Chains A and B, each alone.
Chain A
């Protein structure tokens, strides 16, 4: 009797698998036969990248139609996708928005081995993020990185020298305070900077830039100086407090686009957003630029060095339940999406592809409204990008825990030392021991 329930469940699961397997079939593979593959996307009306990829691929593979299937935006995307994959109703090709859930998908057997679709894609860190035991389970088609957006007009108004690529975080803190004072003197209510409430705005940089920092070690001491600077800026009034941003639902788009803040550390996806904001009238017209993210120390500053920043690649993987007759077309689509032609097409709508080549940079900076100065081009094209979510079964748990730590520190509910010490204890007892 004890074994009866597991036996019934196992039998039901086995039956489900058998029935699901029936859909696959052993159809003959004809490379020129008309094929339709489905692709997951989100907010299709306002996110043109999926249609750009589908149309671009159709141009080179006329027999293949890529049909878009809309999913929820934000964090709900993964919840919905995981549910559909478990139910066997997910599309043929789906997106991994970041690395946070890659472990779940890959270890759960929800990604086809696509190693043969990676030829010609080089061997960058974005591709390596999706590799397990030498096999690729997804290909990167986007790779945003975090940079510093700044408002040249507000810098001039505050009479503060704009970023020149040599800034450490101490320089940034100092500039933010001087901007605050200068803007106030000039009669402006704008703050020096706006660090959004995302944990990434503090933790992403700290993890990427601090020598020896390792999320999975459970030792979070590397976060301390980054939090101390943020608290210092809040206390000085040089940036909106965490509480104000949360309770008033401030958006980084409005803060920067409406010139409420002179600087905004944010991912390169904001280039496309800002251009759209200006078109729709949601942003003012002003001179802006992109600078490298402030650095841990001077060793990675200056245009002769390579600044260090962070960002997770966005990948495309294939659902193992795809019909065999569609696998070749799906792999060809992956190869196209991660390749140079799609890269240029994506850059043409302001999206940063996984491989930023000179052609990509030229295309993106050819868009109307994108700054033309050399520092902006340098910041966009040259940097070392480290992942925000190192692939591991512990990543989601640790990031949740650190998100709670983030709100505790920035709301002044807990001191930095006490909060980090508690986070370390919890990481050891609640996540890393699982």
Chain B
């Protein structure tokens, strides 16, 4: 018995130690640092809830929060629709379907730096092909995209959706394979149209996949960082400043690690809260 326990522990220990040192401990320290004033050097000075009170009156924090919600609110439905659409399209027995699936997945494995550079050039207001196309179809005053505070967030959302839709398409494809073909056959026998089959067979059949995808998308959207940092740097002005970037700015550029940790906790609380709500809603749906 003892021998078994030791053997068991010895298998999980390397992973557990790694997790404890690289994840658990930093997270615990983060929760402590959030209640201190700490510039990385020297001892952190305990300041209680001062960082959280400061957030309340910090207009930049609210701007970053608003922008994060803006990104999330559009990124989630757009990515859901695009990835589900792609999955439905590429779930058929078409010639070269594997090729098209690979193409759809490609943006997800492409370097984010390359994506940012190429899309920035595509969006260039004066010389970019996107605006050239818009002008060709009669749009006299096309948007300034990443150089306009109004259009910078839509531009980032478009690129974010384009980047991630291939990945979620794969999850939906896997989900579609689990729906029994007999259900479609039965529906067809009953005279259900394609739309009716989609609404009454496909959507319910994908319930668990959709829930899983939505949870992942929510967390990924709230944490968005690299794409925005590389495409717009949070600008123009603060038009695309999101919470992750604000944390980076306060922590690594201004050395206010206490305040940055406090904002991290708020971001964590938001992600956690929304995920809990999603689970509750899903549970109610299941029952």
Asked whether, in the complex, the Cβ of A104 is within 8 Å of the Cβ of B255, the reply is: yes
Chain B positions within 8 Å of A396 at CB level: 253-255
CB 8 Å contact bits of A133-164 with B (1 = contact, 0 = none): 00000000000000000000000000000000
CB within 8 A of B41: which of A86, A243, A247? A86
Q: Does B236 count as interface, using CB distance less than 8 angstroms?
A: yes
Q: Does A400 count as interface, using CB distance less than 8 angstroms?
A: yes
CB 8 Å contact bits of A400-434 with B (1 = contact, 0 = none): 10001101100111100001000001100110001
Asked whether, in the complex, the Cβ of A413 is within 8 Å of the Cβ of B149, the reply is: yes
- Bound Cα distance A408, B233 (Å): 12
- Bound Cα distance A241, B124 (Å): 11
Chain B positions within 8 Å of A411 at CB level: 144, 147-149, 235-237
CB 8 Å contact bits of A82-112 with B (1 = contact, 0 = none): 1101100000000000000100100111100
Q: Does B67 count as interface, using CB distance less than 8 angstroms?
A: no
Asked whether, in the complex, the Cβ of B253 is within 8 Å of the Cβ of A246, the reply is: no
Asked whether, in the complex, the Cβ of B46 is within 8 Å of the Cβ of A104, the reply is: no
Chain A positions within 8 Å of B43 at CB level: 10, 13
Nearest to B124 among chain A residues (CB) is: A247
- Bound Cα distance A83, B255 (Å): 11
Chain A positions within 8 Å of B252 at CB level: 79, 82
Q: Does B49 count as interface, using CB distance less than 8 angstroms?
A: no
- Bound Cα distance A405, B149 (Å): 12
A322 smallest CB distance to B (angstroms): 16
B258 smallest CB distance to A (angstroms): 11
- Bound Cα distance A413, B125 (Å): 14
Asked whether, in the complex, the Cβ of B41 is within 8 Å of the Cβ of A248, the reply is: no
Q: Does A212 count as interface, using CB distance less than 8 angstroms?
A: no
A4 smallest CB distance to B (angstroms): 11
Asked whether, in the complex, the Cβ of A246 is within 8 Å of the Cβ of B41, the reply is: no
Chain A positions within 8 Å of B149 at CB level: 408, 411, 413-414
Asked whether, in the complex, the Cβ of A430 is within 8 Å of the Cβ of B59, the reply is: yes
A200 smallest CB distance to B (angstroms): 16
Q: Does B188 count as interface, using CB distance less than 8 angstroms?
A: no
Q: Does B126 count as interface, using CB distance less than 8 angstroms?
A: yes
User: What's the tally of chain A residues with a CB closer than 8 Å to chain B?
Assistant: 42
- Bound Cα distance A247, B32 (Å): 41
Asked whether, in the complex, the Cβ of B40 is within 8 Å of the Cβ of A108, the reply is: yes
Asked whether, in the complex, the Cβ of B125 is within 8 Å of the Cβ of A243, the reply is: yes
- Bound Cα distance A426, B149 (Å): 18
If over half of A's interface residues share one DSSP class (helix, strand or loop), that class is named, otherwise mixed; here it is: helix
Chain B positions within 8 Å of A13 at CB level: 43
Chain B positions within 8 Å of A122 at CB level: none
Nearest to A242 among chain B residues (CB) is: B147
**From B32, B41, B59, residue with most partner A Cβ within 10 Å:** B41
Number of CB contacts from chain A to chain B under 8 A: 115
Asked whether, in the complex, the Cβ of B121 is within 8 Å of the Cβ of A247, the reply is: yes
Q: Does B83 count as interface, using CB distance less than 8 angstroms?
A: no
Asked whether, in the complex, the Cβ of B253 is within 8 Å of the Cβ of A426, the reply is: no
Chain A positions within 8 Å of B125 at CB level: 243-244, 247
- Bound Cα distance A249, B54 (Å): 37
CB within 8 A of B254: which of A85, A241, A397? A397
Asked whether, in the complex, the Cβ of B235 is within 8 Å of the Cβ of A243, the reply is: no
Asked whether, in the complex, the Cβ of B39 is within 8 Å of the Cβ of A404, the reply is: no
Asked whether, in the complex, the Cβ of B144 is within 8 Å of the Cβ of A243, the reply is: yes
- Bound Cα distance A430, B246 (Å): 13
Q: Does B18 count as interface, using CB distance less than 8 angstroms?
A: no
- Bound Cα distance A86, B257 (Å): 13
Asked whether, in the complex, the Cβ of B237 is within 8 Å of the Cβ of A408, the reply is: yes
Given A108-B41, A430-B59, the answer on whether A413 and B126 have CB atoms closer than 8 Å is no
Nearest to B46 among chain A residues (CB) is: A6
Q: Does A5 count as interface, using CB distance less than 8 angstroms?
A: yes
A344 smallest CB distance to B (angstroms): 36
Q: Does B44 count as interface, using CB distance less than 8 angstroms?
A: yes
Given A244-B124, A248-B127, the answer on whether A400 and B237 have CB atoms closer than 8 Å is no
Q: Does A9 count as interface, using CB distance less than 8 angstroms?
A: yes
CB 8 Å contact bits of B236-270 with A (1 = contact, 0 = none): 11110100000001001111100000000000000
Chain A positions within 8 Å of B256 at CB level: 434
- Bound Cα distance A21, B221 (Å): 44
Nearest to B43 among chain A residues (CB) is: A13
Chain A positions within 8 Å of B117 at CB level: 249
Asked whether, in the complex, the Cβ of B147 is within 8 Å of the Cβ of A246, the reply is: yes
CB 8 Å contact bits of B44-66 with A (1 = contact, 0 = none): 10100000001001111000000
CB within 8 A of A82: which of B59, B148, B255? B255
Asked whether, in the complex, the Cβ of B235 is within 8 Å of the Cβ of A407, the reply is: yes
Q: Does B123 count as interface, using CB distance less than 8 angstroms?
A: yes
Nearest to B57 among chain A residues (CB) is: A429
CB within 8 A of B32: which of A5, A85, A404, A408? A5
A78 smallest CB distance to B (angstroms): 9
**From A247, A396, A412, residue with most partner B Cβ within 10 Å:** A247
Chain A positions within 8 Å of B233 at CB level: 407
CB 8 Å contact bits of A252-293 with B (1 = contact, 0 = none): 000000000000000000000000000000000000000000
Asked whether, in the complex, the Cβ of A243 is within 8 Å of the Cβ of B126, the reply is: yes
B192 smallest CB distance to A (angstroms): 49
Provide a sorted-by-A list of 27 A–B residue pairs whose CB atoms are within 8 angstroms: A6-B46, A104-B41, A104-B255, A108-B39, A108-B40, A108-B42, A109-B41, A110-B41, A241-B126, A242-B147, A244-B127, A246-B120, A246-B147, A247-B124, A249-B117, A396-B253, A397-B254, A408-B237, A408-B239, A411-B236, A411-B237, A412-B144, A413-B148, A414-B149, A430-B60, A434-B54, A434-B256
Footprint of B on A, CB under 8 Å? Answer: 5-6, 9-10, 13, 75, 79, 82-83, 85-86, 101, 104, 107-110, 241-244, 246-249, 396-397, 400, 404-405, 407-408, 411-414, 419, 425-426, 429-430, 434
Footprint of A on B, CB under 8 Å? Answer: 29, 32, 39-44, 46, 54, 57-60, 117, 120-121, 123-128, 144-150, 233-239, 241, 249, 252-256
**Across the A-B interface, the 6 shortest Cβ-Cβ residue pairs:** A108-B41, A243-B147, A408-B237, A413-B149, A407-B235, A411-B236
Using A247-B121, A400-B254, A407-B233 as known contacts, list a sample of 4 further A-B pairs with CB atoms less than 8 Å apart, ordered by residue number in A: A108-B40, A244-B127, A404-B237, A430-B60
